[in-house]
C-alpha cells in the first residue's frame, strides 16, 4: 500500500465520530469608526497612513518621501511619469531586486488589524511587495471592513493564484524581543486611504 493510502486508512480508522462543523458566530467590532480604528491599528504596527482625495496626492506624498532617483514600479497607469507601470508577468522576479518603491492598489483593509488584501490581480509579480525596499498601498476608504470575518466574506470564492494580507512593514523581534522594522520584506509601508467622491477611476 502506498504511504498515501496507508495514512488515509489509519486516519479513517482512528478519527473520532463525526462532529458537526460549528456555525461561526457573527462577531462584531466594538469601535464604530472603521477608518479611525484601521488608522490607529495600522500606525501601531508601524505603517504610515495618509488620507487622500486623489492619486495626484499620493504621488506628491511619495515624491516628497522618496524622490525620483530610485526605481519605482506601480500598477497605476497614472504613475507612468515616475514609475514603470507595465511590468510583464513573465519578467524574471530577480530583476526586481533593485526596486526602491512599489505603489499598488489593495482590495480591502481590515480595521481590527490594519491588514490589506492584495492578490495576483493587483500584483504584476508576486515577489514585488516583498522585494521592494518601500511599499505603498492605496485602498478606497469604503473598502475597510471591521474584522477578518468580514474580509473573508468579501473575498468569498475569489479565484487567485496568490493572495496576501499585508499588515505593516516587514519586522522582526528575534533579537531579545527588540522590534526592528525591515527584516526581509519592505522596510516601510505607506497606506493611502482614498476617499472616493466623483472620481470612480480608482475602483479596482
**Interface of this chain with other proteins, residues 47 to 86, rule: CB under 8 A:** none
Q: Shortest distance, CB of residue 145 to other proteins, whole angstroms?
A: 10
* C-alpha separations of 71 from 58, 97, 118, 133, 149 in Å: 17, 10, 21, 10, 37
Q: Is 45 in the site for other proteins (CB under 8 A)?
A: yes
Residue closer to other proteins, measured from CB, 55 or 99: 99
Q: Shortest distance, CB of residue 24 to other proteins, whole angstroms?
A: 6
CB 110, CB 168: distance < 8 Å: no
DSSP annotation of 112 reads: T
Distance between CA atoms of 8 and 23, rounded to whole angstroms? Answer: 27
Residue closer to other proteins, measured from CB, 73 or 125: 125
Distance between CA atoms of 159 and 173, rounded to whole angstroms? Answer: 34
Residue closer to other proteins, measured from CB, 24 or 81: 24
Contact segment (CB under 8 A) with other proteins among 69-77, 101-109, 146-154, 190-198 equals 146-154
Number of neighbours of residue 122 by Cβ within 10 angstroms: 20
Smallest CA-to-CA distance from 111 within 138, 84, 143, 87 is with: 143
Residues 36/40/41/43 CA torsion (nearest 10 deg): 130
Residues 20-39 that bind other proteins (CB under 8 A): 20-22, 24-25, 27-28, 30
Q: Is 197 in the site for other proteins (CB under 8 A)?
A: no
Q: Give, rounded to a whole angstrom, the gap between the first and last alpha carbons of the chain.
A: 50
Contact segment (CB under 8 A) with other proteins among 9-17, 53-61, 73-81, 193-201 equals 9-17
Among 63, 91, 97, 203, binds other proteins (CB under 8 A): 97
Q: Is 43 in the site for other proteins (CB under 8 A)?
A: no
Residues 156-175 that bind other proteins (CB under 8 A): 157, 159-175
- Grid cell for residue 149: 470575518
Contact segment (CB under 8 A) with other proteins among 60-68, 99-107, 141-149, 190-198 equals 141-149
Q: Is 91 in the site for other proteins (CB under 8 A)?
A: no
Among 34, 87, 106, 131, binds other proteins (CB under 8 A): 131
> If you search the block for the grid coordinates 519605482, which residue do you land on?
72
Distance between CA atoms of 148 and 37, rounded to whole angstroms? Answer: 14
Amino acid at each position: 500500500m502506498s504511504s498515501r493510502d496507508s495514512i488515509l486508512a489509519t486516519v479513517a480508522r482512528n478519527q473520532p465520530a463525526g462532529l458537526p462543523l460549528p456555525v461561526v458566530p457573527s462577531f462584531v467590532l466594538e469601535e464604530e469608526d472603521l477608518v479611525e480604528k484601521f488608522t490607529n491599528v495600522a500606525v501601531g504596527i508601524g505603517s504610515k497612513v495618509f488620507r487622500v482625495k486623489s492619486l495626484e496626492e499620493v504621488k506628491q506624498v511619495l515624491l516628497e518621501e522618496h524622490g525620483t532617483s530610485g526605481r519605482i514600479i506601480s500598477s497605476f497607469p497614472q504613475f507612468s511619469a515616475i514609475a514603470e507601470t507595465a511590468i510583464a508577468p513573465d519578467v524574471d522576479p530577480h530583476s526586481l531586486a533593485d526596486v526602491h518603491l512599489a505603489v499598488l492598489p489593495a482590495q480591502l483593509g481590515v480595521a481590527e488589524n490594519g491588514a490589506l488584501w492584495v492578490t495576483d490581480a493587483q500584483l504584476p509579480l508576486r515577489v514585488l511587495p516583498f522585494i521592494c525596499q518601500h511599499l505603498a498601498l492605496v485602498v478606497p476608504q469604503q473598502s475597510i471592513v471591521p474584522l477578518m470575518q468580514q474580509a473573508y466574506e468579501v473575498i468569498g470564492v475569489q479565484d487567485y493564484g496568490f493572495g496576501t494580507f499585508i499588515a505593516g512593514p516587514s519586522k522582526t523581534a528575534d533579537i531579545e524581543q527588540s522590534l526592528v522594522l525591515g527584516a526581509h520584506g519592505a522596510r516601510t509601508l505607506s497606506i493611502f486611504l482614498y476617499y472616493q467622491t466623483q472620481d470612480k477611476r480608482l475602483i479596482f
